[in-house]
Amino acid sequence: MLVCACGGAIIAMARGAGKPHVYGCSWNCKKGAAACGNNLRLARERLDAAVLACLAQAFSTSMLDEAVERALTALRERRDRGTSRRPALERELAAVEVGVRRLTDAVAKGKGTDVLLEKLEAEAAKQRDLQHRLAELDGATKAVTLDAARLTGALRAAVADVAKLLGQSTPAARQALRKVLVEGRLRCEPLTDGRRGYRFSGRGSFGKLIAGCVTTDANPGGYGGPFRGPPSQ
C-alpha cells in the first residue's frame, strides 16, 4: 500500500525485541543504498496516524458537494452526447435485427452452413453490443434526473462506512484506504527541507489528491491537512 519513490514497498520493520516497528524502504533495507538511497526509518504509528488524519479531513462537506456536482456534470454530458447519437444507433440496431431474423429463418429451414452460422454469430454479437450501448444511454438519462440531494445522501452513506473503518483497528483502517485509493497505494517521498520525514500522496476515488507529510519530530503540525493537494484537473 505504501511505496517509495524508487518503486520499492515501504514496509514495517522490527528494530528489536520490545521496540516499536518502523517504516522503511524495502529496497534500501534488503539491497542497500545502491538500490535506493532512502534510508529513513519512521515510527509506524506516526505515519499511520498522519495518513488517517489527512484522509479524514478529505471527507469534508465541501468535498462531498464537489464530488456530487462533478458526477452530475459528467452524467449530463454523457446524456447530451447520447441524445445526438441515439437515432443513428437505433437505425443501426433495427437493420441488424432484420439481418439476424433473416439468418435465423435460413438456419431454421436447414440452410445452416458454417459460413451462415458464423455470420449469424457475428450479427448477434453486434446486436448485443448495440443494445448494450443504448442501455447505457438510458442509464445516463435516468441517473441525471436524480437530484443533488439524493446523490449527496448516497455518497455520505458510503463515506460513513469508510469513516467507521478508519476509526477502528489498523487492519480495518487499511481496508478503508483500499476503498478510497484509486491505485490502492500511497507514494512516500523523503522530505527535502531538512526535516526527516515523508511527504505522501495518492489519488483518491473522489477525484482529489489525498496528500500530506509526516516527520520524525514530535511537532503535531508536521502532518495532516495543511498539505492536502488541490482538486485534480
pLDDT tens per residue, range 33-49: 999 988 889 888 888 88
Q: Which pLDDT tens digit goes with each residue over 177-231?
A: 776 777 778 888 888 888 888 888 887 765 444 444 444 554 333 333 333 333 3
Examine the pLDDT at 66 and tell me if it is beyond 60: yes
Mean pLDDT of 140-165: 69
To the nearest whole number, what is the mean pLDDT of the chain?
76
Q: What is the pLDDT of residue 95?
A: 94
**Average pLDDT over every residue of 125-136:** 90
Residues in Cβ contact with 189 at an 8 Å cutoff, skipping those fewer than 6 apart: 4, 5, 198, 199, 200
Judged against a pLDDT cut of 90, whether residue 98 lies above it is answered with yes
Which residues lie below 8 Å from residue 167, measured CB to CB, with a gap of 6+?
A: 173
Distance between CA 68 and CA 149 in Å, rounded? 9
Structural contact between residues 199 and 211, judged by C-beta atoms closer than 8 angstroms:
yes
What's the pLDDT band for 94 if we cut at 50, 70, 90?
Answer: very high
For 134-158, what is the mean pLDDT?
71
C-alpha–C-alpha distance, residues 157 and 76, integer Å? 23
- Segment (H or E) for 82: helix 61-108
**Distance from C-alpha of 228 to C-alpha of 47, rounded to nearest angstrom:** 15
User: Which of 5-19, 38-52, 125-139, 143-157 is predicted least confidently?
Assistant: 143-157
Proportion of the chain above pLDDT 90, given as a percent: 12
Between strands 209-215 and 10-13, the pairing is unpaired
